[in-house]
Structure 1
Amino acid sequence: MAATGGGGRAGEGGAWGELVAAALLGAERRRPPGGSVTALLDAAAAETVRRRAGARPAVPRQRPEPAPEDGRKPLPAAAERRLATLLADRALGGASPSGAAAGRRGSGPDLGELLPQWLAEANSQGYRAPAALLPALLDAARARTDLRAETLAFAGPRALWLARYNTDWKFALRDGVRRQVPGERPEEAEQLWQEGLFAERVALLTAQRQRDPQAALALLSSTWQTERAEDRLMFLDSLRLGLGPADEPFLERALTDRSRTVRATAAELLAALPGSALAARMAKRARACVGPDRMGGRGIIVVEAPHECDADMQRDGVVPRPPSGRGERAWWLVQLVESTPLRVWSEQFDGLPPARIVALPVADGWREDLHAAWCGAAVRQRDVEWARALIGEPTEPFSEGPGDPAKLLSVLPEEERGEWAARFIAAHGLSEAFRILGVCGVPWSLPLGRAVVDALEIARDAGSYPWSFSGVMGLAERCLDPSDAERLAPLAAVPDEKEGESPGAGAYWAESFQRLVATLRLRSSMLAELRGERREGEPQAGQV
């Protein structure tokens, strides 16, 4: 019952205050004005009208400039209806179209999860957003940060225009900076860097690193000494884009920064530059710790981990105190090896290739620490040959490897990733599949898609319940090639219940496969609509 106007504010402590106090306390604790709850509500209604009628007129202001034009082509009508349906489903919280009970998704597609793919395809086709749907699009991007880049690209300049009049959408102004300040207007970039909000400055620095890394570094250098420590850390992290040898002098100076986290980040960036002085210093230390057994021949690796973490090591980013449960010497060794250029090890081991080095036995129980450090270096340096050697054959279980196979897999070429993941799933099923599937390209390759579906069938036939594999099933809905829908349709039939099978498992699996097939068909329709096609028998927008 709060008033929206300002005219009755002078009487806040009078009749209106009495009504509010009585309503908050309740009739059980205070006799309401007028003697009854009905009388209280009647009085509140009358007082509300009086207060609103007394609102002061607004001060005249200049009319806003019209929204800018967007010259891109409009969406096809079917695609626009589809977008409205996806946004409406998101606003309703993704309620299942099939009306499934709470706790179960039912057999209908999760429309909200299709929105990222829809936006990516619309942007690839060069469409502009319908003006009427811009508020809903901005609301969706506000709620989900993973949608923001594609949403702002699709919404275009009108989204930024709208965001100036609604503080809920201020993220669009921050994220839109990189589109607003082109490289040919350095004076505007300088002004924004000196006067902008922190988020605007981060976005500007990121955009400038993409266009002109050295211009961005010059901006950062101009104010570095006056920035707060937490801001210096965020700004420094943006130098990962376009990192090159020209950044080394600045990063070397940052090794003496007052903030420990800034120093650590500077050291990490320098270690990613194979030709940097820091990488050479780390390599010298690492080579003194790890090498072939010269006394007993080349067939074994010997390790002598550091006995202390001196001041020079700490200056170069080595953290002296290990995490709980980790030995000091092993902790220092791993940091040295991770920061060493991987090409050093072929030199250290007489020209052996990575696969041969990784296969060598390691003396005195140091294998796990050494291989974990090499895994970290391969991921950091994006070295395909070392990642391939360390990830090993997909027949080996995760528990036997020192590093995270998903991270190593992300270094490999996309086609090779899919092949490795398919072979892993064929060998081990789906128990560890979720982590590796997340780094595979979309849509999945045919071998990978078949491996996932075969593993789901095996799990169903073994009597498991489908929600044990809900993460993989959700990925399959988004990542399987839509053309697989008809091939998978027979799996949606409810099988006969077998003796000894978990009660109702077959029906639940059928429901899951029905949702999978329906989602694939819907994705196929989405793509057809965005390409201006219409396919016989496919669901139209608003249908699932």
Structure 2
Amino acid sequence: MPEHATNPETTLRPGADWQRLQRLGLLGTRQSPGELPQVPGFTLPEATSDYREKQALLTAGVLSVIRKAGYQPATSQKPAEAVAAPETQDALGTNGTQLLQQLLEGQYPELLPEFLAALAENQRRVPHQLLVQLLEHARTRSQLHRAAAAVLGQRGAWLASQNPAWQALLAASEQATEETAWETGTIGQRALFLEALRRREPAHARELLAPVLPQEPAKHQAQLLAMLQEGLSIDDEPLLTQYLAAKSKEVRQTVLPLLVRLPDSTLTEGHWQRAEPLVQLKRNLLSKKLLVELPATDWDKTWLLDGIEQKDSRFPGEKAALLGQLLALIPPRRWSEHWNLSPSKSLDLAAGTEWAALLLTAWAEAAVLHQDPAWAEALLEWFYERTRKQLLVLPTASLARLLPPARLTELVLPLISATPHFHSEVRWLPLLLLVPAPWPERLTRRVVEVLRTAFSKPAELYRIQYAASQLLEYMARVVPAEQYNLCAEPLQPLLQDVPYLHNSLARLLNTLHFRQQLAEALHEPTAPG
């Protein structure tokens, strides 16, 4: 590759020079009499009329190679670091390199983050010949920055440091803890630095944050304050409380969840004192009943000091919004312990009141906020076990994430067995689509049985086309690669008999097979050279 040139007239600028060649190609060499871009160190054939087209094509070929190599023109007389440090990890082998290139070229894009994470976990790195392609691919995809940075190796990290467009990947790496990122970085880089520092030195991170917050715009304040969730402790309460009554609603709603999650939070205790008289359990010899009242007073600024807004779209009605917000902030186990009732019994009693929607919605939000798996499980069981009269929209995805995958599987399998007929409105499908990877074999086997039965009825396929496609697409991500045969043996023979679903079914089987190859590539010997 050509070295940096010091003469400005011959300095290589791959981006601008490539655009000049593109314009020349569109207009034609005869209509573009200007000089071709010059590549230092590369000599073109003599400039005769017969060779101008050849000159353009040769220049395009050279520039293409240079651009793929990640060349950047020198921005100062200061020389770049001579060489990268020696590699400490093995690169992918020949097959793995080919598979990674397919991912970078756009095949199975959903598998790239998973494969990069697996590379890091197995202490393998990206081969040198794919570094520029990976850096350029991840440059505009912030969700890939951290995963890509972990597998660049020494040469990849060195290469990324030479190009400002790639340096964001290094800022996202676990090693990017220099305080220069805090002083001069973008807001995203500063937030990442603060998050990493909170994991190591939470007090030091708080001391850095406190004096700079007043000078930040509200949007940046919210983004930086959110990083305090890492290593959150009672020592953070004074700083968070300062911003509970901020002018910006975004800032207020950032610090409020952090404050109520603090152990022995004074704010939560204030919420309890307001809410407890409004939701009372009445007992008699034969039954129990919940009595719900709305707050007697209207909203004023004293409510705002408790983090309660005047309106909340989750709870229609101004006074209902006050009660709903209170309940959504109080740990739900506080109620079941106060009444000496199980979460499921508390839900049954709430469903019998005229305020069922408010209570159930607020308790679901509170279970997510306080990461309460017992209440999350009770809510999901209550919601899915039988058809409910109440038209509720619960945060089921957030509740499901609180449960161990094995427990979520135990919830969904009986629902499938109770209704083993697949159709677009089957109640267990939304819950099944929340069971994360990797699916256990018994779940995969049961779902495949249901699909095989459904696919054996060609006349009904058009009715289930959308729902089945959605399920097959999800299975391609969560079914382990080693279960490929478990899916292929019963379903592959049906490929020609499911015209509405042929592409979705083929994609499932092809994706599982590709993932199987990716898993094998992690243990392949490093390619020579």
Identify the residue that residue 415 of structure 1 maps to in structure 2: 406
How does 1:52-91 map onto structure 2 within 5 Å? 61-65=77-81, 66-88=83-105, 90=106
Q: Do 2:438 and 2:480's aligned partners in 1 also have CA atoms closer than 8 Å?
A: yes
Instruction: Pick the aligned partner of 2:347 from 350, 358, 361.
Output: 358
Q: Which amino acid aligns with 1:149?
A: R
TM-fit CA distance, 1:119: 1.8
TM-fit CA distance, 1:453: 2.0
Distance 1:214 1:347, change over 3 A: same
Distance 1:295 1:427, change over 3 A: closer
Q: Do 1:387 and 1:411's aligned partners in 2 also have CA atoms closer than 8 Å?
A: yes
Q: Do 1:70 and 1:156's aligned partners in 2 also have CA atoms closer than 8 Å?
A: yes
Q: Which amino acid aligns with 2:478?
A: C
- The yes-or-no answer on 1:315 pairing with 2:314 is no
Task: Give a deviation string over 1:509-536, Cα, whole Å, max 9, x none.
Answer: 4554343223222222221221239xxx
The 2-side partners of 1:509 and 1:42 are apart by 50
Task: Give a deviation string over 1:117-164, Cα, whole Å, max 9, x none.
Answer: 322222211112211111111233234443332221112454443233
How does 1:7-46 map onto structure 2 within 5 Å? 44-46=31-33
Identify the residue that residue 118 of structure 2 maps to in structure 1: 121
TM-fit CA distance, 1:73: 2.2
TM-fit CA distance, 1:198: 2.0
TM-fit CA distance, 1:72: 1.4
How does 1:113-152 map onto structure 2 within 5 Å? 113-152=110-149
- The yes-or-no answer on 1:335 pairing with 2:331 is no
The 2-side partners of 1:58 and 1:340 are apart by 58
The 2-side partners of 1:296 and 1:258 are apart by 51
Q: State the secondary structure of the residue aligned to 1:302.
A: strand
The 2-side partners of 1:245 and 1:6 are apart by 59
Q: State the secondary structure of the residue aligned to 2:277.
A: helix
The 2-side partners of 1:437 and 1:358 are apart by 23
TM-fit CA distance, 1:494: 4.3
The 2-side partners of 1:221 and 1:297 are apart by 56
Q: Which amino acid aligns with 2:403?
A: L
Q: State the secondary structure of the residue aligned to 1:70.
A: coil
The 1-side partners of 2:303 and 2:522 are apart by 56
Q: Do 2:368 and 2:398's aligned partners in 1 also have CA atoms closer than 8 Å?
A: yes
Identify the residue that residue 54 of structure 2 maps to in structure 1: none
TM-fit CA distance, 1:46: 2.2
Instruction: Pick the aligned partner of 2:176 from 180, 190, 193.
Output: 180
Q: Do 2:161 and 2:167's aligned partners in 1 also have CA atoms closer than 8 Å?
A: yes
Identify the residue that residue 443 of structure 1 maps to in structure 2: 438
Instruction: Pick the aligned partner of 2:186 from 197, 203, 224.
Output: 197
Q: State the secondary structure of the residue aligned to 2:330.
A: coil
Q: Do 2:85 and 2:154's aligned partners in 1 also have CA atoms closer than 8 Å?
A: yes
Identify the residue that residue 214 of structure 2 maps to in structure 1: 225
How does 1:257-296 map onto structure 2 within 5 Å? 257-293=246-282
More off after superposition, 44-53 vs 277-286: 44-53
- The yes-or-no answer on 1:523 pairing with 2:526 is no
TM-fit CA distance, 1:69: 3.1
- The yes-or-no answer on 1:469 pairing with 2:460 is no
Q: CA RMSD in A?
A: 3.4
Instruction: Pick the aligned partner of 2:236 from 247, 255, 259.
Output: 247
Task: Give a deviation string over 1:22-54, Cα, whole Å, max 9, x none.
Answer: x9xxxxxxxxxxxxxx9x96664322349999x
Q: Do 1:159 and 1:172's aligned partners in 2 also have CA atoms closer than 8 Å?
A: no
Q: Do 1:286 and 1:336's aligned partners in 2 also have CA atoms closer than 8 Å?
A: yes
Distance 1:147 1:473, change over 3 A: farther
Q: Which amino acid aligns with 2:436?
A: G
More off after superposition, 277-286 vs 155-164: 155-164
Distance 1:250 1:295, change over 3 A: farther
Q: Do 1:125 and 1:530's aligned partners in 2 also have CA atoms closer than 8 Å?
A: yes
Q: State the secondary structure of the residue aligned to 1:323.
A: coil
Q: Which has the higher contact order (CA 8 A, sep 6+)?
A: 1
TM-score of the superposition, structure 1-length normalised?
A: 0.76
Distance 1:453 1:397, change over 3 A: farther
Q: Do 2:80 and 2:162's aligned partners in 1 also have CA atoms closer than 8 Å?
A: no
Distance 1:377 1:166, change over 3 A: same
The 1-side partners of 2:499 and 2:333 are apart by 55
The number of aligned residues is: 462
TM-fit CA distance, 1:397: 4.8
Distance 1:296 1:225, change over 3 A: farther
Q: Which amino acid aligns with 1:72?
A: Q
Q: Do 1:206 and 1:241's aligned partners in 2 also have CA atoms closer than 8 Å?
A: yes
Task: Give a deviation string over 1:85-110, Cα, whole Å, max 9, x none.
Answer: 3223x1xxx4xxxxxxxxxxxxxxxx
The 2-side partners of 1:41 and 1:125 are apart by 51
Task: Give a deviation string over 1:229-267, Cα, whole Å, max 9, x none.
Answer: 111111111111221212112111222333232122222
TM-fit CA distance, 1:70: 3.0
Q: Which amino acid aligns with 2:485?
A: E
Q: State the secondary structure of the residue aligned to 2:291.
A: strand
Distance 1:520 1:435, change over 3 A: same
Identity of aligned residues (%): 29
Identify the residue that residue 200 of structure 2 maps to in structure 1: 211
Distance 1:163 1:221, change over 3 A: same
Structure 2: any 5+ residue segments left out of the alignment? Answer: 1-6, 11-19, 41-72
Q: Do 1:369 and 1:402's aligned partners in 2 also have CA atoms closer than 8 Å?
A: no
Distance 1:362 1:420, change over 3 A: closer
Identify the residue that residue 162 of structure 1 maps to in structure 2: 159
TM-fit CA distance, 1:271: 1.4
